[in-house]
Chain A
Amino acid sequence: MSAFETIESPTVPSSTRTEAATSPADARHTPRLVGNASVGIEVRNVVKHFDNFAALDGVSLSVAPGELVALLGPSGSGKTTLLRVIAGLEFPDSGDVLFGGRDALSMTARERRVGFVFQQYALFRHMTVAQNVAFGLDVRPRGARPARAEITERVRLLLERVHLQGLEKRYPQQLSGGQRQRVALARALAIDPSVLLLDEPFGALDAKVRKELRRWLRNLHDELGLATLFVTHDQEEALELADRVVVLNKGLIEQDGSPQKVYDSPATAFVAQFIGDTLTLPVQVTDGQAEVLGARFPAAPGTPEGRAVAYIRPHDVSVQPQGTANGVTAEVISITLSGAVLTLRLGIRGLGELDAIVSRQDVQRFDHEKGSIVTVAATQAYIFSD
């Protein structure tokens, strides 16, 4: 596990990530695990109702070969349903799913050759690790089934690749959560999948293992070059890991874009609220702009004049000595120290209270005791209709 050193990860992914591929030793040992030319996934206007509840209400998205896309949303947003529709475990009421341009809906789940990793892994409890991984090969019709020795060799390679060599004879119940997750992945890869789908791949793991596996999964994805789609409710995970983030809410796509874009310019009020901590302030829109804590910001296109809501991230609130900058006057109500940053709870007359996150250096220069008066301003705000 030493290969998965944890580095304090920035919330916004760096663009140089793909360089962190495998070590030379790994590359020497790893023949191509996936033989297929990878294909892209395309979902067009998919609608799926359960009784009267619209789980998916016209969803379209695409995943290119070699792309890692996160499907991000709260529980009940329809993200798992969409993943299951793509895998062939649910069938949509209308719409299309294409794999490399071919109609996937006319194929059964069995024919689609989808690598699917279940949230609770769904490992077969009565089979050893090796039997689990070999399952997809063992159940092929006789003509297409590899020879016994070939299966054994392939299982060995896969287990080596997921760092589980030596655990072949164990049963799933004897493994840790992280190990089970990697068995599930190896099992999905054994069938030489054309696309890879993961349902909350880190959902059942504790925080530390989760971070290690995230990095490892990214590297594995880069080597395999598959179109990979994973479902998560954890925005940090989506922003850190994915090439592209698709935010889903109530069966509709709210935003589809790079992590940077989703974070920096949320397309809807839901995205602004769902990504990162946010404060909300009531504002008035005039001429397509609104004043938020002393500065004017453009409202989202199409926001009507009049009452609207501004969404501000706590670290987009600047705190200055009183009178030195534009902004509004506030009183410091309480101070919480958390590591390198301070959370100041501020009271603003007529607006109520809000939290600002500031670095300790930024406020060293002036008095910020409890009860002192400061000037606060927003450096970034997102304005959407009420």
Chain B
Amino acid sequence: MIGLSSLPSGRAAAPAPSRRRRQRRALPGFGLTLGLSATYLGVIVLLPIAALLLHAASLSPAEFWAIVSSRRAVATYRITLSSAFYATLFNAGFGLLLAWVLVRYDFTGRRLLDAMIDLPFALPTAVAGIALTALFARNGIFGQWLEPMGIKIAYAQPGIVIAMAFTSLPFVVRTIQPVLEDLEVEIEEAGHMLGATDGQLFARVIWPVLMPSFLAGASLAFARSLGEFGAVVFIAGNLPMRTEITALLTYIRIDEYDYPAAAALATVILLSAFVMLFAVNALQLWQLRYMRRS
């Protein structure tokens, strides 16, 4: 047995400098883990981003503006934003439906359906891209019916929308699900006894509770769609001014060794991602406060 005698001695009653003590922590490993993870973050994540911004900053404002406001670049913004918007619109409706069905109803295959929803996150985007292209191309399962009707999806903007919708599908479902699970039965029972119809109850009681998480999920899906590349390039056809997204134009500029243009475009995408990140954080904060209040 180790008695007290084996404890570090010699520093008896004399108080050590209080400054040293204040910094001490009960659990081991603070310096090691913080040092390691902060260094790693700095080297792997922050340093490259800084290098990109530095490169973009070396352009004069006029050069920068000329690149990011060129007709071709502006067309990519329009296509990217509008496609992401439609994809998010689809996912908002479909996500709400899926979350509702998964939480409220019990049926055979419910667990399988629940598991399936994460597939777009697990499936590599390139795989999703070629699979969707195969389905919607002129000789594909859907394409062979749609194209004769004059509906062109692959190698047109609807293809971009579908690729974005597929890859960002789980966001809305997964943010609504927990909120819907927490809704108390009593609220609806009380509503029914007060004479409200299902529609009235949904619109006035359930929807207000769901809305913050719905918006948070939709903005996550939108952010993801803005950044999507792998799935889109296969199905888009990549025609300048028609089906070219901003990420692809950046890639093309790199391929052409036009590094200033690539730096400027990448900076635009990066800054829009930060704006989205800020918006999503604000929405999630709002959602948290909303949930605590109810």
Contacts and interface: CB of A to CB of B under 8 A. Distances in A.
Among A37, A96, A98, A99: residue with most chain B CB under 10 A: A96
Nearest to B3: A36
Interface stretch (A101-109, A324-332, A350-358): A101-109
Contacts of B15: 96, 103, 105
B14 A103 contact: yes
B12 A101 contact: yes
B12 A103 contact: yes
Interface stretch (A85-93, A163-171, A210-218, A260-268): A85-93
Contacts of A89: 26
A288 interface: no
A99 B3 CA distance: 13
B21 interface: yes
B292 interface: no
A187 interface: no
A106 B16 contact: yes
B11 A103 contact: yes
B13 A98 contact: yes
Interface string B1-44: 11110011101111110100110111010000000000000000
A102 B4 contact: yes
Given A91-B22, A111-B7, 17 more contacts: A88-B26, A90-B26, A93-B18, A93-B22, A101-B12, A102-B4, A102-B9, A103-B11, A103-B12, A103-B15, A105-B15, A105-B16, A106-B8, A108-B28, A109-B26, A192-B1, A194-B4
B291 to A, nearest CB: 26
A96 B8 contact: no
Contact of B8 (A37, A107, A109, A192): A107
13 contacts: A36-B4, A92-B21, A101-B12, A102-B7, A102-B11, A102-B12, A103-B15, A105-B16, A106-B11, A107-B8, A111-B8, A144-B2, A194-B4
Contacts of B12: 101-103
Nearest to B6: A144
Nearest to A194: B4
Interface string A110-143: 1111000000000000000000000000000000
Interface in A8-43: 35-37, 39
B10 to A, nearest CB: 9
Contacts of A106: 8, 11, 16
Interface of A is mostly: loop
Interface of B is mostly: loop
A178 interface: no
A144 B13 CA distance: 27
A20 to B, nearest CB: 29
B5 to A, nearest CB: 9
B4 A35 contact: no
Interface of B: 1-4, 7-9, 11-16, 18, 21-22, 24-26, 28
A321 interface: no
Interface of A: 35-37, 39, 84, 88-94, 96, 98-103, 105-113, 144, 192, 194
Contacts of A102: 4, 7, 9, 11-13
Nearest to A195: B4
A100 to B, nearest CB: 6
B22 A103 contact: no
Contacts of B3: 35-37
A99 B4 CA distance: 9
A102 B8 CA distance: 9
Contacts of A103: 11-16
Contacts of A91: 21-22, 24-26
B2 A101 contact: no
Contacts of B2: 113, 144, 192
Nearest to A35: B1
B7 A96 contact: no
Among B4, B8, B9, B11: residue with most chain A CB under 10 A: B4
Contacts of B4: 36-37, 39, 99-100, 102, 113, 194
Contacts of B9: 102
A36 B1 contact: yes
A105 B21 CA distance: 7
B27 to A, nearest CB: 8
Contacts of A36: 1, 3-4
Contacts of A112: 7
B16 to A, nearest CB: 5
B17 to A, nearest CB: 11
Among A37, A102, A109: residue with most chain B CB under 10 A: A102
Contacts of B21: 91-92, 105
A101 B14 CA distance: 10
A187 B24 CA distance: 26
